[in-house]
Chains A and B, each alone.
Chain A
Amino acid sequence: MLRRSFMTTALAALPTAFVTRRAQAAAATELKVFISKQERPSVMRQAFDEYSARNPAAKVTIEAGPTTSEAQAQYLNTVLSARDSSLDFFLLDVIRPAQFAAAHWAVPLNSAVGDVAALMKQYLPAYAAADQVNGELVALPGFADAMFLYYRKDLLEKYQLTPPKTWTDLTEQAKKVTAGEKDPSLQGLSFQGAPIEGAVCTFLLPYWSAGHDLITNGKLTFNVPAAGQALALWRGFITNGVSPRTIAQATTEDTRQDFQAGKVLFAVCWSYAWALFQGKNSAVVGKVGVAKLPAVTGGTSVSCIGGWQWGVSAFSHHKPQAIALVRFLSSLPISKLLAIKASLLPVFPQIYTDPDVLKVNPWFAAAGPVLASARSRPVTPRYNAVSEIIRTDFNAVMAGTMTGKAAARNMEVRLRRVLG
């Protein structure tokens, strides 16, 4: 009952501007979207159906595919390289808009939106950077994600500690708790050290926190000493025993599972972990806290933005309809709907304090400030090459096959080759 009434009120509040009412006579346009199982097709279905109810001329067919980033890239690259018109719109990982814009796979949304700056100001700050490439609006935010510091509330309370503000605090707290617990399998800190996309965020967290950027206005502004310090910070956790030596193989899922099994004090991980920590098969139900990520000494707390963006295919035969639908899907009521029904993080800051949402997901209150502090990874069509450079050199340092200084210098040489 509650849900129904929410739906009606939420959708009644929709600005009618982009819900074009068409004459009944118009034949229904079938719009095909590519999303994955991760995106809860059943909840998305509701959003699409609401749109169709207000706009009977449009029907949406879902093509649900594998969720891994590799499988999605393989599929979308094949279909779009073949200039196939079967997909009308899609959900993109936040790191992809620049590449899609350069490949001319996504329709620019500027003219449909009007005042781009005003619109993007409504979203979480990181998305204005992530979704715009050289003034072109490539995609609109669908739902958010970011890196969080998860901590064991029960253990911190036991030792009368509050969540660490700096990485130095974290080290001290981890040492204190692990020494007190005398449990050799308890890790102080778990993070992603494997050469995966998450490692790019891991590397960037202290680098950003110290006030540095990788790319500024399209130019490489790589600070070698700062990169060396960021690498040394992470390597330090391994050498001082706060993190295990196996961290160089840890994927996001390893961090999540170790924490869930009750073997980790602090973990740097994406938002998906929260629901699993509270689910069955978890040893830490009710014992988990979320905090902003620690800063480097003298720096600010920064997180790394994730999330998924709606884009319209350049090969679609129904671009105007798809653009209207994408605007609807990136609107506030839908973000709220996804937050309540699918626990997907909202892209609008004010939803994090919305009582309807907090009733279902109380932890969003703590998540809000983290999302607000999140930054976008470098926006460049060559992002995948940049990512490859950072994650491989980062991994080499974590495995101990390269020193932090050497890796920082190596990164610079390789980044110059890619970005010129």
Chain B
Amino acid sequence: MPALRAGLIRVIVASFLLVNGLFPALWILLTSLKTTIELRRTPITWLPAHPTLENYVHAFTQQPLPLFLLNSVIVACFSTLLTLFVAALAAYALVRLEMPVRGLILGFIIAVSTFPLVTLLVPLFEILRSLDLLNSYPALIFPYAVLSLPVCTLVLMTYFETIPADLEHAAMVDGCTRFGALRRIVMPLAAPGVFTAGILAFVNSWDEFLLALSFNSDPRFRTLPVGITLYQGQFTFPWPEISAALVVGIVPIAILIVVFQERVVSGLTTGGLKG
């Protein structure tokens, strides 16, 4: 009987988590199958009265959605990798090494993330122009890496701190260099942290609008968030089409989460802290 009760609680908890997390996304999915006029019906309808895929057809024919997706994937992947690399080195240094101004360095890195982007746009634009980087992938990859650097550094630091220094020393005795120990021992053991930092950085890049709008105005380098606003007119806001585009934008992230969760994270964590 207690097992049954525990099972029931688990089902309730899981349903709560699913509804809380997925309801808005589900609503967008349902909206993408409705017509504009159905959205103005009272009382409102939950399920589409006449489901239609027309909005997806519109979404794909009006704008080069696959191109925007590809651009977003390229920018998000490279900036995530860059942030993880830079943040991992910095976090390791801040955790493991004796340094006089540790707090100040950390404070500096965090302070950087606290300036409202809109005020930094013009000088950033000028820097990128002088480097001839406007309308290119690096124009977004580097700033996005900076956006996520503080949070990634802090997250990685907390996980590096939980890894016993002895493990590294042992590895170094076995003939690893310090970099080797970082790569082979520390990073795998901090896998949940690396995953978390990676997702945070990826989503940060995936969602960013202001820089993408200002720096990559050439349609060939346009990313998804800017692309989605192109469905809007000066006044028009076609929810069904925008929903379709949003669904297209959310699916890659969902796939990423599922794949990482099942393949990478569970694998690494189960093999991890046994020793």
Residue positions of A touching B, CB distance < 8 A:
36-38, 63-69, 71, 74-75, 78-79, 81-82, 84, 185, 251-253, 256-258, 260-261, 263, 270, 272, 276, 281-283
Contact = CB atoms under 8 A, between A and B. Distances in A.
Interface residues of B, number: 28
A67 B232 contact: yes
Contacts of A270: 235
A38 B219 contact: no
Main secondary structure of the interface of B (DSSP, over half): helix
B68 to A, nearest CB: 13
B217 A65 contact: yes
- Shortest beta-carbon contacts, A-B, top 5: A261-B40, A66-B229, A78-B214, A252-B235, A81-B122
Contact of B234 (A38, A79, A84): A38
A316 to B, nearest CB: 16
Contacts of A68: 229, 232, 234
A108 B126 CA distance: 26
B236 interface: yes
Given A64-B219, A75-B214, A79-B125, A282 B235 contact: no
Contact of B213 (A75, A256, A260, A261): A75
| Residue picked from A36, A79, A276, most chain B C-beta under 10 Å | A79
Given A37-B230, A257-B40, A82 B129 contact: yes
Contact of A78 (B42, B125, B236): B125
Given A66-B226, A66-B230, A281-B36, A79 B235 contact: no
Given A36-B234, A270-B235, A261 B214 contact: no
Nearest to A145: B234
30 contacts: A36-B234, A38-B233, A63-B217, A64-B219, A66-B213, A66-B226, A66-B232, A68-B234, A71-B213, A74-B118, A74-B121, A74-B210, A75-B217, A78-B122, A78-B214, A79-B125, A79-B214, A82-B126, A84-B125, A84-B129, A253-B236, A256-B236, A257-B36, A257-B40, A260-B40, A261-B41, A270-B235, A272-B234, A272-B235, A282-B37
B35 interface: yes
A185 B229 CA distance: 31
Given A38-B234, A79-B125, 19 more contacts: A37-B230, A63-B218, A64-B219, A65-B213, A66-B226, A66-B229, A66-B232, A71-B213, A74-B118, A79-B214, A82-B122, A253-B235, A256-B235, A257-B36, A257-B40, A261-B41, A272-B236, A281-B35, A282-B37
